[in-house]
Structure 1
C-alpha cells in the first residue's frame, strides 16, 4: 500500500482543479488528488530507488522486497483499519496489500522471493493462455507450455473457497527464497493462523551459508468453507536469529467471487 490520500502534485493547467459553485472553474499547476493514481508514483519511485541501489535485482525481487518489509500497523502501532468498511474492522490484505511501504526497510529485506520469465510463462500456461498470446507478451518463440504451474514464487499466499459448499480443503505452495543479506544467516518461521485455518511450514528453519544462497520450503493451508463469505487472514514470517531481518508474507483465505 502506498500513500494515496490528498497527495499534492503537479497538474495539467488546461483542466480545472477546483470549482466555485457550478459555473466558475479554476485552473492550477498543482492540485490535491486521492486514489491509486496518486499512490502509483510513490510505489514506482520507491521501486526506482531500489533498482538504483540494487541494479542486479529483477522486478520480482524488487516487488518482493516491498511486500515483505511493508508495515501492517498504523501510527498508533495497531493494525491498519479498512477505511472502506463502515465498521472500520482491521483491513485484510485484499484491502491494503501487505501494508504501508517502507523504503528504508525494503533496501535491506534479508530474503527475497525471485521469479524468472520462465516462471511467468508457466503461470500463463496454467491460465490457458494461447501460444500467440504468450508470444505477444514475451516477444519470443523460445517458450512452450511443457510445465504449466500456477504456483508462482510470489511473496504472498491466497486460497479460495466456495461459500456455497461446506468442506475442508488443503492447499500446498512451494517457495524459494534467496539470501540477500550479508554472509550466513539462519531464519525461523513464525505463523499467525487465519481463523478456522491451519498453516504448516516445512522446514521451520532455513540455514544459509552465504549471500545469494537459495533455500526452499512448502506452506500447507488446511481451511474450511463458510457461508458467511468471510476473509480470514494471517501471515508467514521468517525471522532471522540474532539478526534484524523479518520477512513477512500475508496469507488470505477468500471466497470465490462470482459476477
Structure 2
C-alpha cells in the first residue's frame, strides 16, 4: 500500500506547487520522512526487534505536511539522467531506446553521480576503502539561510561532509557538497546505516538523507 499512498502525496505536492519537478517532489517526500513510529520509537523491520535499515523502510514514514515545506531539495532534470546512463557505458542505440529520443547526447566525461537524496556505498573489497559522493542542494526558501551537516555515528565507519556548512542567499540558490564514507570491508550480507541531516541554523528545517553501507556479495 505504500505506492498509492506516496502517489497521492506526490499529487498533493504537485497541486500545491505546480512548478516543482518530479525530482523535487521525490526529494521533498524523502528528506522530510519520519524515522520514528507513532510511539516515537525507531521504526523496526517486520518480524524482528531491530531498527529497520534504509533497505527495508526506504527514507522513512511519509509526512505530507512537512513535505510541503522541505527547506532544501535535490533537483534533477532529464539531462542528469542521461549523463548517468552514459556513465553506465550504454551504446547510443541503447541510450536512445531508453530516452525515446535522439536529442540527447553523452557529455565528454560521464560519471555515475546522480543528485539523489540518499547514499549507498558498496564495500566489497579487501582492506579499507573510501567512497565519495557529490550532491547539490537547492534552497526553496525566500530568504538567506544557513545549514549545518550532522551525521549519525556508523559503527566502524567514518563519514565526513565537505563543506559541513552551507549558506544560501535566497530562493533557488544552489550549493554543492561532498560526502565521504571511509571504513573496512564488510562480511557478505552486512548492512551498516545512518543518516546525513542538514539542520537549519535558527530555523525549522531538517533535510535528512539515508546512508547505507553494505556488501551484497564476495565479489
* TM-score clears 0.5: yes
Q: 1:133, 1:204 → 2: CA distance?
A: 39
Q: What are the Cα deviations for residues 75-118 of structure 1, in whole angstroms up to 9, with x where unaligned?
A: 121110000xx432110000000100110000000000001111
Q: 1:152, 1:114 → 2: CA distance?
A: 10
Q: Residue 158 of structure 1: SS of its match in structure 2?
A: strand
Aligned to 1:121: 82
Q: How far off is 1:257 after superposition?
A: 4.1
Q: 1:138, 1:186 → 2: CA distance?
A: 38
Aligned: 1:141 with 2:77: no
The 5-angstrom pairing of residues 101-180 of structure 1 reads 101-146=62-107, 147-162=109-124, 165-180=125-140
Q: 1:87, 1:109 → 2: CA distance?
A: 31
The 5-angstrom pairing of residues 19-34 of structure 1 reads none
C-alpha distance 214-95 of structure 1, shift in aligned 2 (>3 A): same
Q: 2:64, 2:33 → 1: CA distance?
A: 9
CA RMSD of aligned residues (A): 1.6
> Which of 69, 72, 77 in structure 1 is aligned with 2:40?
77
Which of 1 and 2 has greater Rg? Answer: 1
Q: How far off is 1:166 after superposition?
A: 3.4
Q: Which runs of 5+ in 2 are unaligned?
A: none
Q: 1:232, 1:138 → 2: CA distance?
A: 35
Q: How far off is 1:140 after superposition?
A: 2.1
Aligned to 1:247: 207
Structure 1: which 4+ aligned runs deviate by more than 3 Å?
A: none
What's the TM-score once normalised by structure 2's chain length?
0.94
Q: 2:138, 2:10 → 1: CA distance?
A: 19
Q: 2:45, 2:20 → 1: CA distance?
A: 32
Q: How far off is 1:258 after superposition?
A: 7.3
Q: 1:116, 1:188 → 2: CA distance?
A: 26
Q: 2:42, 2:191 → 1: CA distance?
A: 16
Conserved 8 A contact 1:194-1:253: no
Q: 1:255, 1:228 → 2: CA distance?
A: 5
Q: Residue 91 of structure 1: SS of its match in structure 2?
A: coil
Q: Select the structure with the greater relative contact order (CA < 8 A; seq sep ≥ 6).
A: 2
Q: 1:226, 1:115 → 2: CA distance?
A: 32
Q: 1:155, 1:141 → 2: CA distance?
A: 29
Aligned: 1:68 with 2:37: no
Q: Residue 122 of structure 2: SS of its match in structure 1?
A: strand
Aligned: 1:210 with 2:170: yes
C-alpha distance 257-63 of structure 1, shift in aligned 2 (>3 A): farther
Corresponding residue pairs, total: 218
The 5-angstrom pairing of residues 37-76 of structure 1 reads 38-76=1-39
